[in-house]
A and B are shown apart, each in its own frame.
Chain A
Amino acid sequence: MMSQRSERRGIHLDQSELLCKKGCGYYGNTAWQGLCSKCWREENQRERQKQIQEDWALAERLQREEEEAYASRHQRAQSQPTITPFSKFEERKTKEKSSKVNTVTKFFTPSAKTPPKKDTTSFDTQSSPSPSSSSSRHPPADTDHATREFIDFLKPLKSGREIFKQCRAFTESMVYKRDMGADELSECVQDFYQNLSDRLQTQFKGSTEHVESVMDEVEKYMMTRLYKEVFCPETTDDEKKDLAIQKRIRALHWVTIEMLCVPVDEEIPEVSDSVVKAITDVIEMDSKRVPKDKLACITRCSKHIFNAIKISKKEAASADDFLPTLIYIVLKANPPRLQSNIQYITRFCNPSRLMTGEDGYYFTNLCCAVAFIEKLDGQSLNLSPEEFELYMSGQASPHWPQGAGASSPGSAALSQVHKRLDLLTGLGERQDRVIEKARQLESDLIDWTDEVEQKVQSVLESFPQETHNPTATTASGTTSAAASAIDSDNVENERLPPPLQPQVFAG
């Protein structure tokens, strides 16, 4: 090996640079930080192992903290029961099945494992709003907050503790499934949702509302914790799709309200206000973690759209008006990570909320809008394929048509452009006038200083040299007068009694 290497020296670059940095003799690769695939895998494994250990430590600590928090909260819950829609329901069920209750309520009794002293300390931290407990925690504050809220919500529930334990265990287990494909992750989460809701269904005797409200909180808790792991995961091409749709929307910047037949009149201030709000809401979707919160952004956006249409048309919007307007809003907003958000919601939201309910309706419309934008062509904008190509390639714009005679949608835009041009010319003229006046002012200033200088000069000349000095003395005279005034103050000070001397007292 060594001799081989020295033989080749001079012709090739030093082979040691190509070899694995671990010195195992295989070739290394820059993509593997200079290691060979085997060493890189080993190294990576070690890293991962370390990470896993750290995660476990964190998980264990969290578990301890949460159990403490739970126990203390439970104490509080017992002393002052909270009134929730469930409490009555639970009461009734308690009467029905007293035998089963015993086994379940033990989840709520502070277990013997937890020392009572610890309970009281955490109880104290609970009762005072001091952030001492949260400051020692590593996970972000919102994750912590989600856990607290979840515990608070489950507290009055008979099986609350059990639900919490299961959700926490599942969430922790998901952290170790990072390498899983997005569809598998989604399947895992959806299976969990389904199993849990099936069990709740039996427990609540088919009261869908109760099951749904618990499931909402479960989703909120879990997705707040898992967001970073499962949003736009590396195993998918979500990011590529995000960039593609973003580019596409940018390329469609020339699409006008008229081409899409959008029934909103942005000249009306309230309408343009609603349009802005709709755009803001759809952009805001990206900043939310919980699928349900993201859906709420879409719903708010939709409500603003309905308002804009209602004011413009003076009648309520139908689906025929709504979808084109939503498309227009999406084109104007170019919302960040649009595909990732849609995929994330699809994978981790309760499916019933996507296919039914008002939120589901607006979400479906958003999906339709995106699908429409992706496949949009000249025909769907009432343009010829040639026109569409010209606009897409940027060779022409509907605002500046190639021919002088503009087509009907173009002429409206053209007249608007003319209006703007007139405005610009007007502004230019005003600017010229301002500049003119500024120049005038400048020359006036110069004239004025010249004038002053001349006057000073003539005054100086009219007086002989001797009179020049007295003027100087008068000036200094005033200063000396002021100085003597200060002195006279000092003189007066001399009339004050002498400063006190330190004295020694006999006592």
Chain B
Amino acid sequence: MGENVQTIPGGAQPHKDRTLNRQVRTLRVKMVLLGSSGVGKSSLAVRFAKNEFRDTSPTVGCAFLTQVVHVSDASLRFEIWDTAGQEKYHSVTPLYYRGAHAALLVYDISKRETFIRAQLWLKELEKHYIPGSTVIFLIGNKGDLAWDRQVSVQEGQNLAHEKGLSFIETSALSGDQVNELLLDVGKIQNILKVPLDGSRHQTEYLTVNRINAHFSLMYWISGVKK
């Protein structure tokens, strides 16, 4: 799956001029997209990685995508994990967001039901939440459909505030606020206790207890409902 380099206006710097003598740190950032079917998760993934709209570029795969962004003295290598939105797969999705730096919980501002569902998702996320490990972003997508809005900006903000999440309204169609979101996610290195240093021992080299938790979770999941 392709990887292109993008520079975010206002905040990102081309790395060539500053880092000739210094090694550029590559920071890996895993983002997981969560939310009901049809809210625009896959479209957001394609917008992040290719800066294109999915409907007009049907050949771009959108399950696993990467995007490298240069910010000051580091390169952020975003990994975008799309998930199956169908209801029946909800119980297995906790497996996806283990080890994620950011979980993007998406709803469609023109469909109230997806906002309600997002709140159910949050409850589920809280169950497996490891403090200091994953930052949750609440995202109201399809911001271009403001004329058909069923969820107000205020409602989204309130929910985010109540749960201590970051909040942003985006449009995968127009690309509005998508880069801002990426930058916000990139900033989580200041929020996370574990710095997003590319080194394994600091971020990704998760302790054994943690992976065991990951896979005992798998058995917990398979035990659920039966």
Q: Is B30 touching A316 in the complex (CB atoms < 8 A)? A: no
CB–CB A375/B91 < 8 A: yes
| Minimum C-beta distance from B188 to chain A (A) | 15
Confirm or deny: A318 has a beta carbon within 8 angstroms of a beta carbon on chain B: yes
What 0/1 readout, one digit per residue, does chain B (174-208) give for beta carbons within 8 Å of chain A? 00000000000000000000000111110011101
- Which of B59, B96, B212 is within 8 Å of A316, CB to CB? B59
Given A364-B95, A374-B222, A377-B226, A201:B201 Cβ within 8 A? yes
Q: Is the CB of B199 within 8 A of A352?
A: no
Q: Is B204 a contact of A371 with CB atoms below 8 Å?
A: no
B159 close to chain A: CB less than 8 A: no
A371-398 vs B, CB cutoff 8 Å, 1 = contact: the mask equals: 1101101011000000000000000000
Cβ–Cβ contact A318 & B222, under 8 A: no
For residue B214, CB closer than 8 A to chain A, the reply is yes
Given the complex of chains A and B, what is the CA–CA distance between A79 and B35 in angstroms?
60
Known A206-B199, A320-B42; contact A352-B205, beta-carbon cutoff 8 A: yes
User: CB distance B208 to A319 under 8 Å?
Assistant: no
A193→B208 CA distance, assembly (Å): 11
Let me know if A354 is at the binding interface, CB within 8 A: yes
Residues of B within 8 A of A209 (CB): 26
Chain B contacts of A350 at CB under 8 A? 200, 205
Closest approach, in angstroms, between the C-beta of B90 and any C-beta of chain A? Answer: 11
Contact, CB under 8 Å: B83 / A319: yes
Answer yes or no: B61 CB below 8 A from chain A CBs.
Answer: yes
Select B225's contact among A306, A324, A377, beta carbons within 8 Å: A377
Distance of B156 from chain A, by nearest CB (Å): 24
Report whether B1 and A352 are in contact in the complex, using a CB–CB cutoff of 8 Å.
no
- The answer, yes or no, to whether B85 is at the interface (CB within 8 Å) is yes
With a cutoff of 8 Å between Cβ atoms, the chain B residues found around residue A362 in the complex are 64
Give chain A nearest CB distance to B86 CB in angstroms.
6
Query: What residues of chain A lie closer than 8 Å to B88, measured between beta carbons?
Result: 372, 379-380
Query: With A and B bound together, what is the CA distance between A186 and B200 in angstroms?
Result: 17
Given A186-B208, A317-B61, is A205 in contact with B23 using a C-beta cutoff of 8 Å?
yes
On whether the beta carbons of B63 and A201 are closer than 8 Å, the reply is: no
Closest to B59 in A: A316
CA distance A198 to B1 in the complex (A): 30
Which residues of A (337-378) have their CB < 8 Å from a CB of B? 342-343, 346, 350-352, 354-358, 361-362, 364, 367-368, 370-372, 374-375, 377
The reply on B112 being an interface residue by CB < 8 A is no
How many angstroms between the C-alpha atoms of A362 and B95 in the bound complex?
Answer: 12
What distance in Å separates the Cβ of A339 from its nearest Cβ neighbour in chain B?
10
Nearest CB of chain A from residue B168's CB, rounded to whole Å? 22
Interface residues of B in 35-92 (CB under 8 A from A): 37, 41-42, 58-64, 79, 81-86, 88-89, 91-92
B99 interfacial by beta-carbon distance below 8 Å: yes
B165 on the interface (CB 8 Å rule)? no
Task: Indicate whether A120 reaches chain B with its CB closer than 8 angstroms.
Answer: no
A357 to B60, CA, bound (A): 18
A480 within 8 A of B: no
Task: Report yes or no: B92 in contact with A368, Cβ–Cβ below 8 A.
Answer: yes
B163 within 8 A of A: no
Given A205-B23, A355-B98, CB of A187 within 8 Å of CB of B208: yes
CB distance from A313 to the nearest CB of B (A): 9
Q: Are A320 and B99 in contact (CB under 8 A)?
A: no
A194 interface residue per 8 A CB criterion: yes
List chain B residues, Cβ under 8 A from A190.
208, 211
- Chain A positions within 8 Å of B122 at CB level: none
B63 touches A208 (CB 8 A): no
Assembled-state Cα–Cα distance A81/B79 (Å): 37
A231 at the interface (CB under 8 A from B): no
Given A201-B201, A208-B199, A372-B89, A320 and B84 contact (CB-CB distance below 8 Å) = yes
B224 at the interface (CB under 8 A from A): yes
Most chain A Cβ neighbours within 10 Å, of B28, B93, B95, B210: B95
**B200/A208 in contact, CB under 8 A:** yes
- CB of B30 within 8 A of CB of A355, answer yes
In chain A between 269 and 312, which residues have their CB closer than 8 angstroms to a CB of chain B? 306, 310
CA separation between A261 and B84, bound complex, in Å? Answer: 12
Q: How far is the CA of A100 from the CA of B203 in the complex (A)?
A: 29
Q: Given known contacts A207-B23, A320-B84, is B60 in contact with A197 (CB within 8 Å)?
A: no
- Taking CB atoms and an 8 Å cut-off, the chain A residues in 309-334 that contact chain B are 310, 314-320, 322-324
- Please tell me if the beta carbons of A358 and B224 are within 8 angstroms of each other in the complex: no
B interface footprint on A178-196 (CB within 8 Å = 1, 0 otherwise): 0000010011001101100
* Cross-chain contact A323 with B89 (CB below 8 angstroms): yes
Q: Which residues of B contact A323 (CB under 8 A)?
A: 84, 89
B26, B93, B201, B221: the one contacting A194 at CB < 8 Å is B201
Do B86 and A316 touch across chains, with their CB atoms under 8 A apart? no
Is B205 in contact with A319, judged by CB distance below 8 angstroms?
Answer: no
Distance A370 CA – B28 CA, assembled complex (angstroms):
28
On whether the beta carbons of A352 and B204 are closer than 8 Å, the reply is yes
Q: Do B221 and A375 have beta carbons less than 8 Å apart?
A: yes
Q: How far is the CA of A362 from the CA of B23 in the complex (A)?
A: 31
Question: Could you tell me if B221 and A371 are in contact, using CB atoms closer than 8 angstroms?
Answer: yes
CB distance from A305 to the nearest CB of B (A): 10
Q: Kindly provide the distance from the CB of A232 to the nearest chain B CB, expressed in whole angstroms.
A: 15
Is the pair A368, B96 in contact by a Cβ cutoff of 8 Å? yes
A206: chain B residues at CB < 8 Å are: 23, 25, 197-199
What is the CB-to-nearest-CB distance from A226 to chain B, in angstroms, rounded to a whole number?
16
CA–CA, A317 and B226, complex, Å: 31
In the bound assembly, the distance between CA atoms of A371 and B90 in angstroms comes to 11
A409 smallest CB distance to B (angstroms):
16
Contact status B208-A322, CB under 8 Å: no
Question: Which residues of A are found within 8 Å of B85, using beta-carbon distances?
Answer: 319-320
Q: Which 4 A-B pairs have the closest CB atoms?
A: A355-B99, A315-B58, A352-B204, A374-B222
Supply 28 A–B pairs (Cβ within 8 Å), ascending by A.
A186-B208, A190-B211, A261-B86, A315-B58, A316-B59, A316-B60, A316-B62, A317-B62, A317-B63, A318-B62, A318-B82, A320-B85, A323-B89, A346-B215, A354-B214, A355-B99, A355-B100, A356-B30, A357-B79, A358-B64, A361-B81, A362-B64, A367-B215, A368-B92, A368-B93, A368-B96, A371-B218, A375-B226
Known: A351-B210, A374-B222. 11 other contacts (CB 8 A): A183-B212, A194-B200, A215-B200, A318-B61, A346-B214, A354-B99, A355-B204, A368-B96, A371-B92, A377-B225, A379-B88
